[in-house]
């Protein structure tokens, strides 16, 4: 059985009965070839025949673990008691009291074929899940684009207010007679840049188009998506900081900017599950 949850890299955890220990390295190599990433649990066990004794355990193996627990208690001066439920999960303890068997040499090939099939099924499931995630991300991206277009329209309406705010700040600078001309020009350029959101909206549009292209292209896009989302979030924050204090249009731009940030955050959450 294979069980996988999202993980930045490929993290394989094997839970095998004693018979399968000899195959672990081959299984690890196979899964590294078949799987890209994920925290993957691999559980293998032999099914006992119908007439096999039920509820047995490997007494000798359990005794060794209990002795080791006792010795550790004594050595470190502890007063702990073992948890039988945890001890019974140790590979090989619940073996119905039987000895570990040597499997037929042909079993290895059959095991690898079965594991390869399981990995293929896992990848197919991931692909279906990825397609659903891409659809959800596409909806959020469409919302970002729509909100950005509305902000562009509001920005055109708000240009007179942007210009008025720039004039006020320039007049404040001009009132300082001791300000050198080159410093005045420098401050004027900075104020002009801080008084409009056109550059931020243009970059947000470019990033949105690139994000859409990545979704269509497919492949391992998680890291690239994360970078684009950081840039989109940065541009949106700048739009929000510049839109304050320009009246009703500014309030509408702020509301739309906050909606864009919410879209970006939802895309980020979905993107964590994409390879």
The reported pLDDT for the residue numbered 146 is: 94
- In the chain, % of residues over pLDDT 90: 21
Collect contacts of 225-231 with beta carbons under 8 A, ≥24 apart.
Answer: 225/267, 225/271, 225/274, 226/268, 226/271, 229/264, 229/267, 229/268, 229/271, 231/203, 231/207
| 221: helix, strand or coil | coil
Q: Decide: helix, strand or coil at residue 245.
A: coil
Dist CA 260 CA 237 (whole Å): 10
Beta bridge partners of 251: none
Output the six-digit token pair for 161: 């207010």
Task: Give the pair of three-digit tokens for residue 190.
Answer: 């900075």
Q: Could you tell me if 242 and 194 are in contact, meaning their C-beta atoms sit under 8 angstroms apart?
A: yes
Of 209, 207, 169, nearest to 188 by C-alpha is: 169
User: What is the pLDDT at residue 97?
Assistant: 46
The DSSP string of 95-163 is STTPPPPPPPTTHHHHHHHHHHHHHHHHHHHHHHHHHHHHHHHHHHHHHHHHHHHHHHHHHHHHHHHHH
Residue 9, classed as helix, strand or coil, is coil
Q: What is the mean pLDDT of the chain?
A: 80
Task: Output the CA angle 251-254-259, nearest 5 degrees.
Answer: 130
Question: Which residue's structure tokens are 């859409």?
Answer: 212
Q: What is the pLDDT of residue 108?
A: 83
10 membership: H or E segment, kind and range: strand 10-16
pLDDT of residue 166: 63
Per-residue pLDDT of the chain (275 residues; tens, 9 = 90+): 788 876 667 888 888 877 787 888 989 999 988 887 778 888 887 765 555 555 577 888 889 999 999 999 999 988 889 998 888 888 778 765 445 556 666 788 888 898 999 998 888 887 888 788 888 889 999 999 999 999 888 877 766 666 666 666 666 666 665 656 565 555 555 544 555 678 889 999 999 999 999 888 876 676 788 889 999 999 999 888 877 766 677 788 889 999 999 999 999 888 776 65
Full-model pTM: 0.55
Report, in this order, helix, strand and coil percent for the chain, each rounded to 5.
70, 5, 25
| pLDDT score at 92 | 74
Task: Return d(Cα 79, Cα 76) in angstroms, integer.
Answer: 9
């Amino acid at each position: 059985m294979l069980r996988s949850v999202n993980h930045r890299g490929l993290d394989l955890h094997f839970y095998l009965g004693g018979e399968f220990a000899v195959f672990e390295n081959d299984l690890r190599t196979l899964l590294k070839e078949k799987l890209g990433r994920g925290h993957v649990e691999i559980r293998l066990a032999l099914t006992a025949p119908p007439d096999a004794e039920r509820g047995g355990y490997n007494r000798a193996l359990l005794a060794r673990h209990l002795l080791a627990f006792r010795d550790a208690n004594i050595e470190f001066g502890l007063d702990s008691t073992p948890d039988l439920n945890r001890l019974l999960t140790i590979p090989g303890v619940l073996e119905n009291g039987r000895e570990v068997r040597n499997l037929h040499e042909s079993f290895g090939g059959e095991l690898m074929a079965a594991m390869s099939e399981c990995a293929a099924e896992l990848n197919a499931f991931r692909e279906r899940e990825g397609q659903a995630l891409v659809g959800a991300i596409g909806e959020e991206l469409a919302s970002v684009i729509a909100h950005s277009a509305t902000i562009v329209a509001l920005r055109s309406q708000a240009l007179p207010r942007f210009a008025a705010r720039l004039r006020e700040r320039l007049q404040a600078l001009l009132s300082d007679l001791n300000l050198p001309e080159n410093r005045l020009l420098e401050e004027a350029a900075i104020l002009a840049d801080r008084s409009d959101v056109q550059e931020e909206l243009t970059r947000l549009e470019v990033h949105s188009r690139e994000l859409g292209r990545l979704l269509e292209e497919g492949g391992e896009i998680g890291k690239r998506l994360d970078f684009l989302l950081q840039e989109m979030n940065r541009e949106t924050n700048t739009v929000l900081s510049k839109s304050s204090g320009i009246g009703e249009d500014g309030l509408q731009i702020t509301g739309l900017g906050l909606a864009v940030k919410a879209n970006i955050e939802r895309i980020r959450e979905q993107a964590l599950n994409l390879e």
